[in-house]
Amino acid sequence: MKISTETLNVLKNFSTINSSIVVKAGSKIRTISPVKNILAEYISTEEFEQDFALYDLNEFLGGLTLFKDPEFVFDGSSYVTIKSGRSKVKYFFSDPSLITVAPDKEIVMGGELVEFELSEEVLSSLLKAASVYQLSDMSLIGQDDEINLVVRNKDNDTSNHFSAKVGETDKEFVFNFKIENMKIIPDVYKVLVSSTNISKFTSSKYNLIYWIALEPDSTFGG
């Protein structure tokens, strides 16, 4: 079988969430961060024929650069054969028990919900500002009929703030994220944020969803 560039790009992104992964037979690929505050799900165009585990996903993806248009042979063995032209490698799978496996159960977004669209341009500018000013937090703030995304150090009132308006609301809330948890592929996202401190980012380009936990000091009211 061939693995599309899109799927490989998503797997590269997933490696930033967890360096290991268990891929189950079928087209649904899930990963979860080691501390279980980020869950991501992608539906690929490929159908994988068997379950397999990769302890070092970056190593696996890096090895693919040795091949031009690689073909993958899954035959139920403890390894996958990757080949192109005269070259091939047997890449051995890992023990799944050594890896934090993403749960199969669906996540239900309960509580009061805030919804907005996050453009790729706004997402990029916020993350860039956080890097330039060394800011650790991203806050979704509902106040004065506006929804703003603000990057800041929330425990330091004198830190630099960079903000972008992303919607309107008649509610008041402060939902806090850690910048280090915003490990999402650049794209336009439909975002749902729940008062139960969970958020859902649905990609417009990929068949891809991220669920990201909010910080415990998030508040909703008014």
Among candidate residues 98, 126, 145, the one where a domain is terminated = 98
Please report whether residue 105 resides in a domain. Answer: no
Please tell me the pTM assigned to this model: 0.94
Average pLDDT over the chain, rounded to whole?
A: 95
Asked whether residue 92 falls in the same domain as residue 140, the answer is no
CATH code at position 94: 3.70.10.10
pLDDT value of position 15: 97
pLDDT value of position 134: 96
Please report whether residue 123 resides in a domain. Answer: yes
Asked whether residue 121 falls in the same domain as residue 196, the answer is yes
Asked whether residue 128 falls in the same domain as residue 67, the answer is no
Asked whether residue 33 falls in the same domain as residue 128, the answer is no
Rounded average pLDDT over 52-78: 95
State pLDDT tens for residues 77-127: 999 999 999 999 999 999 999 898 888 888 888 888 999 999 999 999 999
147 token code pair: 């929804």
Rounded average pLDDT over 1-24: 96
Q: Which amino acid is at 65?
A: T
Asked whether residue 91 falls in the same domain as residue 178, the answer is no
Q: Which single residue is written with the structure tokens 């650790």?
A: 136
Please report whether residue 179 resides in a domain. Answer: yes
pLDDT band at 135 (very low <50, low <70, confident <90, very high): very high
pLDDT value of position 222: 55
Asked whether residue 143 falls in the same domain as residue 92, the answer is no
111 vs 137, residue with greater confidence: 137
Please report whether residue 106 resides in a domain. Answer: no
CA 107 vs. chain centroid, Å, equals 15
Rounded average pLDDT over 191-209: 96
pLDDT value of position 103: 86
Asked whether residue 132 falls in the same domain as residue 69, the answer is no
- Quote the CA–CA distance of 193 and 167 in Å, as a whole number: 13
Total structural domains within the chain: 2
Rounded average pLDDT over 49-65: 96
| Domain coverage including residue 61 | 5-98
Asked whether residue 88 falls in the same domain as residue 117, the answer is no
Q: What is the DSSP string of 31-94?
A: EE-TTSSEEEEEEEEEEESS-EEES-HHHHHHHGGGSSS-EEE--SSSEEEEEETTEEEEEEPP
